[in-house]
A and B are shown apart, each in its own frame.
Chain A
Amino acid sequence: MNNQGPLKIAIIQLTRIGDLIQTAQAVRQFKAENPETEITLIARRKFGKGILFFLETVFDDIVLFDTKDFFTKPTLDEVRGNSHKFIFDLNQKKFDVSVNLSFNKSSSYLNTLINCKLRLGLHRNNFSEISVNDNWSKYVYSNVLASNNNPFSLVDIYRYILGSQDVLTLNEDSTIERKKQIILHPFASDKKKKWGINKWNELIFKLAKDNPDYSLHIVGGPEDSTEAQRIAHSPALKNLNGKLFIHAGTTNISGTYQLLMESALFIGHDSLVSHIAAETLTPSIVLSLGTVRPHETTAYQANVINVSPRNKCFPCQVETRCDSLPCHNSISHQAISIIAQGVLNKQTIDRQYLKTNINTFQLDTIQVYTSEYQNTGLVLNEISENYLSLEDVFKNFYKIIWQCYLRDTDINLALPEISENTAKQLYRYQDGVNYLYEIYNFGSTFSNKIIQEAEKSAPNIEVIQENIKKLSELDQLCEITKRSYPLLSGLIDYFYVHKANTPGNNILEISKNNLLTYYDASNLAAVLYEFVEKSVSPYLDTAPKNMEV
């Protein structure tokens, strides 16, 4: 810490506008808990400038830059001079802590170049290798970037990285009256994440028909204006003159914020505008499609209804090519319209509402979640199905495990209500968790042998090498286990990253730390085993033969 004055923290967020808003939502909560801190945001100008009006309400200082700022001179020496000056100026701010919340390459180098006493998030060591020391950043690196098992909102994960304890959220300003208008954002950064125009046309037509008192407003950026005009001029919507308004390309983000402040409902994809709708506490229906992971990025507010497809391939990976986009057809415009009508009429949107108003075929293909704040953060509760899917069962297990292990926070969740089919799948996982437990126990044994040998006055290098080789074989066994039991990747990947970042200056120190990691890993595997066992046991009692897979 500085000798005097507040703790100075640099927050690095070099990714897109949505991530910037989520970062600000986390930092606002941290700042409320730690008002004595001075927080500087470092972000790209192209993403930050449109929401400066909002960022300024959270951060004490904002440094915006673009790559082209460095390339104002013709030679590399001069370009390097520009970047050196940028880093030098940043370091003049004398940060105590640097926190990288963006997890891309450039941010890892920037985080390394900032002089500070504590560095959180991705950075580089002196050999340019990736380093990540704090546990929640290891969690992001292992569980958020590469898998679908993460049960936490990104905003909450950012809070956890910062060390924020309480959930401190915005309150509705009751003096603001919401008009009878619905804001629609039919756009997203990627084709896989957004419905096609026809779907939106059908939804707009039905919304207008079912809610004749409401006006409809399409918002978006300049890049969306052509598509917005195509929607507006679609033959099906030609009779909506005076009821359908296009703001895409003419209203900036600040204007969209104002519009949302006075609107009754927002409907759109998981994108920038959904996060702004959360900031204005506008009741929202968010459609998650393609690569979007609802638990991670659904807008951070308690007034959200998230609708996702129930397809096996959802959510897909960014690199997965998909031309048929089956998940887009799983969500019907009728279902969204019915949910919208319920929200507008201030009805409780719960399982009963969905079952009464949406036909079985349309309900069977979607997962509907409502959001609520709990003491750990934002939680999505599924309301469309009586039983949890296998994936959601594991999300609940991981929620308990990670909160306890990484945050020392106990949360109580009832055993999941599952179908017999899910119980069968879960039963098969018992073997996988058991393998994992044994692998980690072997890890402890081999680490112990290395320690014992290294502590001898004349250690035998061959014994040490032999056990190191066995440890690397355990990593391969973990990979094989992961392939057969993909939902165990949460645990396997976390401890792989944890081990890769084991601190220590020599084999003895590293092995001692590795031993602790294997102890922790086997303990968590044992806890996971118990969860699985208890969840399937009611089904074993009633129908043991069905469990034989």
Chain B
Amino acid sequence: MSIQEEIHKAMAEIQQKVNKNEELTTSEMEMLFLSSLIEEEAK
């Protein structure tokens, strides 16, 4: 699996938790930080 695919998978899992209104862990927050940095670089 490429790193992009890994990121998509990790984000999909986090999104599921967000949709279910479940609390996120620090590690998941760190993943969201990473993903938002990538998003902003692309702008």
Residues on A close to B: CB < 8 A? Answer: 14, 67, 70-71, 74-76, 79-80, 83-84, 87, 104-106, 108-110, 112-113, 124, 126-128
Interface of B is mostly: helix
Complex interface: chain A residues within 8 A of B10 (CB): 76
Complex interface: chain A residues within 8 A of B22 (CB): 127
Cα A110 to Cα B31 with chains together (Å): 11
Complex interface: chain A residues within 8 A of B30 (CB): 80, 83-84, 87, 109, 113
Using CB atoms, name the residue of chain B closest to A106: B36
Task: Given contacts A106-B40, A127-B18, list 10 more A-B pairs with CB under 8 A.
Answer: A70-B37, A71-B3, A74-B3, A79-B3, A80-B27, A80-B31, A104-B40, A105-B36, A113-B33, A127-B22
| 3 tightest A-B CB contacts, nearest first | A76-B6, A109-B33, A105-B36
Q: How near does chain A come to B10, taking the closest CB pair, in angstroms?
A: 6
Indicate which residue in A76, A105, A113, A124 contacts B40 across the interface (CB closer than 8 Å).
A105
B34–A70 contact, CB under 8 A? yes
Cα A79 to Cα B35 with chains together (Å): 11
Complex interface: chain B residues within 8 A of A14 (CB): 40
Which residues 14-31 of B sit at the A interface, judged by CB distance below 8 A? 14, 18, 21-24, 26-27, 29-31
How many of chain B's residues touch chain A, expressed as a range?
20 to 34
B34–A79 contact, CB under 8 A? yes
B24–A67 contact, CB under 8 A? no
B27–A128 contact, CB under 8 A? no
Using CB atoms, name the residue of chain A closest to B22: A127
Residues on B close to A: CB < 8 A? Answer: 3, 6-7, 10, 14, 18, 21-24, 26-27, 29-34, 36-41
B36–A83 contact, CB under 8 A? no
Cα A70 to Cα B36 with chains together (Å): 13
Contacts A/B (CB < 8 Å), 17 sampled: A67-B40, A71-B3, A75-B3, A76-B3, A76-B10, A79-B3, A79-B34, A80-B31, A87-B33, A104-B36, A104-B40, A112-B29, A113-B29, A113-B30, A124-B32, A127-B21, A128-B24
Interface of A is mostly: helix
Number of A-B contacts (CB under 8 A): 64
Indicate which residue in A74, A75, A109 contacts B36 across the interface (CB closer than 8 Å).
A109
Q: How near does chain B come to A262, taking the closest CB pair, in angstroms?
A: 37
B37–A76 contact, CB under 8 A? no
Complex interface: chain B residues within 8 A of A83 (CB): 30, 33-34
Q: How near does chain B come to A68, taking the closest CB pair, in angstroms?
A: 8
Cα A74 to Cα B40 with chains together (Å): 21
Cα A83 to Cα B27 with chains together (Å): 10
Complex interface: chain A residues within 8 A of B26 (CB): 113
Q: How near does chain A come to B31, taking the closest CB pair, in angstroms?
A: 6
| Known pairs A79-B34, A109-B36; A84 contacts B24 (CB<8 A) | no
Complex interface: chain A residues within 8 A of B27 (CB): 80, 84
| Known pairs A80-B30, A113-B26, A126-B24; A105 contacts B3 (CB<8 A) | no
Complex interface: chain B residues within 8 A of A126 (CB): 23-24
Using CB atoms, name the residue of chain B closest to A70: B34
Indicate which residue in B18, B23, B32, B41 contacts A109 across the interface (CB closer than 8 Å).
B32
A109–B29 contact, CB under 8 A? yes
Using CB atoms, name the residue of chain A closest to B18: A128
Q: How near does chain A come to B27, taking the closest CB pair, in angstroms?
A: 7
Q: How near does chain A come to B38, taking the closest CB pair, in angstroms?
A: 6
Complex interface: chain A residues within 8 A of B38 (CB): 67
B34–A80 contact, CB under 8 A? yes
Cα A76 to Cα B21 with chains together (Å): 25
Q: How near does chain B come to A235, taking the closest CB pair, in angstroms?
A: 38
Cα A124 to Cα B22 with chains together (Å): 14
B32–A128 contact, CB under 8 A? yes
